[in-house]
Structure 1
Amino acid sequence: MVREARLQDSKAIAEIIVETWKYAYTGIVDKDYVDNLNVQSFIQIMMRNLQQKKETIFVYEEDETIKGFISGKLLKKDNYQCEIVGFYVLPEFQQAGIGKILFQHINKYFSERNCHKMILWTLKGAKNNSFYEKNGGVISHEKLLKIGEKEYAGVGYSFNLHSITGQ
């Protein structure tokens, strides 16, 4: 089931971020950075984001376990009206359709708020990039993304929400 995240979900979301980073970005991002990811710091970030409504966050929960989440925000830019900020599914639940359910849910959410074009930034060569391409994403931008003290090649996937949602 997909639902809006609550403050008490912060710890589960933080744990998903850390575990998923270790799975998805090992070999792409500096090993020391990945090894030193701290659940506690992400708990604080997620609590602040939820309290201040910096992002809209949806979790996928099944059997009282949060297995993934997606977050996004509205933008005030001409080319894009919305952005996916975070999108993580625990590695043991990937390839089970959870990502697609979360992705469709946030796309519907944004479409209902008159968003037509969406962007999502990720690392070039990341394991998840094929998912974005299968779901209508097209690489439209490249830039360096600062992670820790280093910069990495990043790509921006653009999505036309009307073609995804069928509206």
Structure 2
Amino acid sequence: MRAAVVYESMFGNTATIATSVANGLRKAGIEVKVIPVTLAGDDVLRTHDLVVIGAPTHALGMSRPNTRADAVLRGAPAEVEARGVREWLETVQDAEHVHLAAFDTRARSMRHLPGSAARHVAHLLRRRGYEVPPAASFYVSSIEGPLAHEEEARAGDWAADLAHQLMRQVA
């Protein structure tokens, strides 16, 4: 089984979680590529059995050009302005037999707020006809980070559970 973890990250926190997710999938025996969204092709869904999509929560949902520009003003690298998960999903080609999952990073202070980049990703994918398990959120202590205690380990465990569920489905 081949998987890709496609992620968008402003301050490195979502990238760290994406790596932890990939490591959790690898522990379950899955071959994994970790791909920044700026480098993700439109064929990722067609060339993988599992695609896990990660994004930071911005303004209660997925980033937009203006929220990415604001992140750059706060110190994020300029290349994050190029393209986010939202724009990638608009161009990605559908596939019949791919499994999908989504996660986000969000400030711990947003824990009880309704917005979530991962839930927005899952919603868009469901509208396209995909089955998507409940999205996961991983917490940062503030907008720029760092990650809250134990979130990297929790991400790896979440991914390993995801892989085991998937393997039961396809068996």
TM-score normalised by L of structure 1? 0.34
For CA contacts below 8 A with separation 6 or more, give which structure has more relative contact order: 2
Structure with the larger strand share: 1
TM-score normalised by L of structure 2? 0.33
